[in-house]
Structure 1
């Protein structure tokens, strides 16, 4: 029996480091892992839901790794379908995309092409893949004729998908998208998609598709049976210490039947540990023996700052990457430190709070709007190269 098998991955963030530890070799090992899964599981499609690179202008070695990694996946027998995320430059990632499809690599970065599928066949008929790039509302709302918010642009793109599916009765549909969908659990390593936490979109937008492959959140998770995040293949913050990194292996059945979804575990270059306690306890207790070779975050709770804590701790934990100080003194009424006060706040709240702090009165509505516009402009400016010329006719692939 021949049915389409999909390996759902995302958020490679090629070129990213972990607390200044270079991850390029671990990312290369992950490509080896993916290629082996393709061969062992007879995977037909590797579907990558955005954030291929960590930044819009990637380093030369990250570009070289992507070139080599994609070659390995295609050589292993897979068709690769990938789309741009909010960290990618759509222009750079999408260069040559019209020519690459013939070689088994389909790159989608153009919002206007949302309703143009990549089509594959198996014994049950066709499967239509619709890889949606990250849709920044300020850039995509006009071309898509949508409201200028995340729900509006993603809804409009999915309307194009459904319109195409309407002329393909009985075709199974696989959608990939780079978005923060309500119900998903975030971590500290994701970039905020919208100022003020307005980037989340409702799960119901993705009803009725055979499978939905999401990217952006770095924890592998299921939102509904057919709607899932693969998460990032590597940890990028200590908030991901409890994550099980990997991808999803999706096997499509006959039209009208649910896909079978299985987890695929990724290789872990080094385990993470978050430790807490007094310095003397951390240096001597046997309970921390298994954590000695981990990438470690330690929070010291000594009432007074010990002398040379980092140097002393690294004699036992040589891969200590982050040291925090949280003295366990009795609670004292008061506002706390500035870091404590802003913990968990979004960019807009921090800016408004700072204005209140330095001049003694809250921001007015007009000032809040100006700060929100400035933050949105900075967010878009950080996505160098995302803007596309959407007026040029596109050839189908």
Structure 2
């Protein structure tokens, strides 16, 4: 009688940039791969657990990329169930949701539809898919009618109470899936998630989701398994250099007559790799072993004792996709921390200016620069007697 197969993905962040580099082409490529996977694996429904867009008001180009990706997924034969994340505007994402559902796009972006599942039928009966949008605790506790609920755990507990209450009204043996956008205890964060902390607490216990067959989590950008039925798909692309070693993936989730049968990981293609380099600018520009990094997004740490002039432009002549640059001289000078008030107290302007140059680039001014400094200070009426 077959299986029901879901594709669990999340955190598309369409429209996001990577250190100011436009990622729309890479996002379109990876999201297009999801449509190919739907065809190859006979997927019944694609689940997107929040953060479809990177900002509340996405650009027209970002909306076009997302729309084309969703149209390709529908054309490949799968329905879509989307929830809103902390980056999305829930009202914008959910607009025309009732009309979209007729075409197989099911949007769950408001608290009042948490207990309104999308039903996928097979020969064993229905699978009820419940979408819990990102719940900002303060407005959510009032929208859910639980004004005494505390933080993320409190509002998610009420959301899951509603899910379980609806599930109890369904036919015996009804299988269930929940989409949720939250930081669940035990998950590992990266540098690219926006914090959802409220009063210093952003995590919720995994036991809040007890009572359903599979929980498709979103928010954390690394793929990870907290329990067999409790997983993060992660983002389809790396959005920080802290994710350079991650293998981005999605979960293929199979349901049989008894519920969750199998979960398989499918690694996604990488349109452009991330890499890090450390060394002096001369060595980085000349060493043959770096040739294969010319097509990578690159984070560079320069170790020259004096800050190189025009370093990023020079690096991009060899590494066109260098996007991040730090200077950490081997002598450790750049790491010296000074309190401004202490650094300038009792010192003449000329000495402060010299120290500023020394701190910024790792070398004091030369004779020509000393002359320019004196002239500038005299023109500003700050010349020394």
Q: TM-score, normalised by structure 1?
A: 0.80
Per-residue deviation, 1:336: 6.3
Q: Which has the larger radius of gyration?
A: 2
1:238 aligns with 2:241: yes
CA contact (8 A) 1:171 1:255 kept: no
Cα distance 1:332–1:44, how it changes in 2: closer, same or farther (>3 A)?
Answer: closer
CA contact (8 A) 2:12 2:52 kept: yes
Equivalent positions of 1:313-392 (< 5 A) are 313-329=315-331
Q: Tell me, which stretches of 5 or more residues in structure 1 are unaligned? A: 339-397
- Aligned partner of 1:351 in structure 2 is none
Per-residue deviation, 1:309: 2.1
Aligned partner of 1:206 among 206, 209, 216: 209
Equivalent positions of 1:1-397 (< 5 A) are 1-146=1-146, 147-168=149-170, 169-195=172-198, 197-255=200-258, 258-329=260-331
Alpha-carbon separation, structure 2, partners of 1:150 and 1:204: 13
Q: Secondary structure in 1 aligned to 2:283?
A: helix
1:316-364 alpha-carbon deviations (Å, 9 max, x no partner): 22211110112222589975689xxxxxxxxxxxxxxxxxxxxxxxxxx
Per-residue deviation, 1:99: 2.1
Alpha-carbon separation, structure 2, partners of 1:332 and 1:42: 56
Per-residue deviation, 1:17: 1.4
Higher relative contact order (CA 8 A, sep 6+): 1
Per-residue deviation, 1:126: 1.5
1:173-220 alpha-carbon deviations (Å, 9 max, x no partner): 111101111111111111111255411111121233211101111111
Per-residue deviation, 1:143: 2.1
Q: RMSD between aligned alpha carbons?
A: 2.1
Alpha-carbon separation, structure 1, partners of 2:335 and 2:242: 28
Alpha-carbon separation, structure 2, partners of 1:290 and 1:28: 25
Cα distance 1:259–1:304, how it changes in 2: closer, same or farther (>3 A)?
Answer: farther
Q: Tell me, which stretches of 5 or more residues in structure 2 are unaligned? A: 341-385
1:233-261 alpha-carbon deviations (Å, 9 max, x no partner): 112111111111121111112215x4311
Per-residue deviation, 1:123: 2.3
CA contact (8 A) 1:226 1:259 kept: no
CA contact (8 A) 1:193 1:199 kept: yes
Alpha-carbon separation, structure 1, partners of 2:24 and 2:117: 32
| Aligned length in residues | 337
Q: TM-score, normalised by structure 2?
A: 0.82
Per-residue deviation, 1:231: 0.8
Alpha-carbon separation, structure 2, partners of 1:202 and 1:59: 35
Cα distance 1:81–1:292, how it changes in 2: closer, same or farther (>3 A)?
Answer: same
CA contact (8 A) 1:210 1:259 kept: no
Which moves more between the two structures, 244-253 or 172-181?
Answer: 244-253
